[in-house]
Chains A and B, each alone.
Chain A
Amino acid sequence: MNWFSRPASETQVTHGQRLWLYIFAGVTMTLLVVPTLIVIPMSFSDSQYLEFPPEEWSLRWYHNYFGSPEWMGATATSFKAAILTTIVATPIGVLAAYGLHASKIPFIRATFVLLITPMMVPVVLIAIGAFYAYVKLQILYTMTGLVLAHSLLAIPLVVIVIGSALKSYDMNQENAARSLGAPRWKAFMTITLPQIRFAVVTSALLAFLTSFDEVIVAMFISGGENSTLTRNMFNALRDQIDPTIAAISTIMVLVTTGLMIVAQVFGTDKSQK
């Protein structure tokens, strides 16, 4: 019996009959991945027109990027904002998720919905709202303002990831620790936190990426020396296709992929598999 006539499903459909599905899936998966990755070889092209495969290889666009004080400043801003957002949003979100999980008050559900609204409200609205608020608070175009707004966007993700981790965590362990003599905060720090550490790592990475990739809010409330990389990229894209952006994109893809690997290594529980 060859592979084509072997059954592929519970209902005995053969691989041969499913060939169309395999081809379709292969093409779709290729189309999902390739556009992101093809920018990488293109960024090493010497030509203004981003050829693939490049006729002349060069680091021209990387020189352009690394040699530009504006791009370098924006990159520094983006990293700074993303790191600070991670530092701010992760603990705030973890505390909120724990508070909502552990307390028994009636409007928990409403509070949860309130905390995930930043995910549901169109970002444009958040951007102009924050712009207005920042004018009043006089923190427009500051790092503080940027980090607070990005933390706002990251908190729903942290709350959801930590919340679902707590749901599958046995709170009796914390009770056990308390009965053995640990105050509640200590029980949380020594027993609960180590066990939801994978979720904490994941949510921290999500917070980082939320800030690092964010465009629209940054467009409104970051500026001057505190312009983010994405803000400058977006503005450059509106004007023309600057090949420097291919170089920046490559670096961003590498950052993301790196973080994904970090998430795979530190963000999943291998002992459970």
Chain B
Amino acid sequence: MSAASTLNSDGLARDERLERLKLFGLASPAILLVMVILVIPVGWLFYVSFLGADGSFSLENYERMIERKSYARIFYTTFEVSILTTILCILIGYPLAYFMSQLPNKWANICLITVLLPFWTSLLVRTYAWLVLLQKSGLVNEWGMSLGLWEEPLRLVHNMSGTLIGMVHIMLPFLILPVYSAMRQIDRDYLKAAANLGASPRRAFWTVFFPLSTPGLFAGALMVFVLCLGFFVTPAVLGGGKVIMVSMKIVSNIELFVNWGAASALGVVLLTLTVGILWIASRFLNLDTVSKGGH
């Protein structure tokens, strides 16, 4: 390059670096917060999980997880609850989203409020509401018996079924919102074209509409599943001690046993599972749709 073509290049390069730094600097308070309160402490938990009771390096926290039956049960329960919740959410949420997507805009927005209202309401309030409704002398039992559907009060809460009812209710909006928005984006002319080409309504739905809605469905289902894995409040209240999930064990390890090593190891496994699933999923679908699905 000739001398002329590097005119002002040093100064311009300096300006460019400075501008980048300034713009990036705008994100620094947020980055700092995430680093100090999340990344560094979780890194420390990671470190602690490899310390034994005597403070030296050891895998005992992880070995215990493999050896003890109780831990296997906890992981089994966690997956059972997460998978069942996800399936129930799909079975209930998909048709509802479909119903809303077929409505004119005005009506769809009104129906959307019924999804958004619980979405915005405190999780604790909703969990409490189910506790009240499902308890032995609760409304569901009272009405069920007075209608003659069952004789004795059913045990609806403080067990798996109570947990699932609460979880599904809380997770449904996370499934419905992305599915609904995916369905809204489907061009209705595709269905007309399918019908025009000779597809029956059923066939047009399964070969055209459903495949086009799957990105939203995947995003929603993934969101629900991952959130379920780390869930705490609802199973803790509605499970009545009979449904123990990983996050609950982590809490009890610290609150009851002050065993940071065991809690950390469980936390590391839970985090690895969550990140692993998100990572695998992100290879198949655009993560942006997942993050958008949240709100």
Contact = CB atoms under 8 A, between A and B. Distances in A.
Within 8 Å by CB, do A and B touch in the complex?
A: yes
Determine which residue in B42, B129, B247 has the highest number of CB atoms from chain A within 10 A of its CB, and name it: B129
B34 interface: yes
B286 interface: no
A57 interface: no
A252 B20 contact: no
A50 interface: yes
A180 interface: no
A196 interface: no
Contact of A122 (B29, B237, B274): B274
B123 interface: yes
B30 A49 contact: no
Interface stretch (B6-14, B66-74, B112-120, B213-221): B112-120
A100 B122 CA distance: 31
A96 B111 contact: no
Interface stretch (B55-63, B147-155, B186-194): B186-194
A13 B209 CA distance: 14
Interface band, chain A: 35 or more
Interface stretch (A68-76, A158-166, A169-177): A158-166
Interface string A117-137: 111111111101111110000
A115 B34 contact: yes
Given A120-B274, A128-B45, A133 B27 contact: no
Contact of A39 (B117, B132, B236): B132
Given A9-B201, A260-B120, A32 B114 contact: yes
Nearest to B245: A124
Interface of A: 8-13, 21-22, 24-25, 28-29, 31-33, 35-36, 38-39, 42, 49-50, 52, 92-93, 95-96, 98-100, 102-105, 111, 114-126, 128-133, 148-149, 151-152, 155, 157, 159-161, 164, 206, 209, 212-213, 215-216, 219, 230, 233-234, 237-238, 241, 245-246, 249, 252-253, 256-257, 259-260
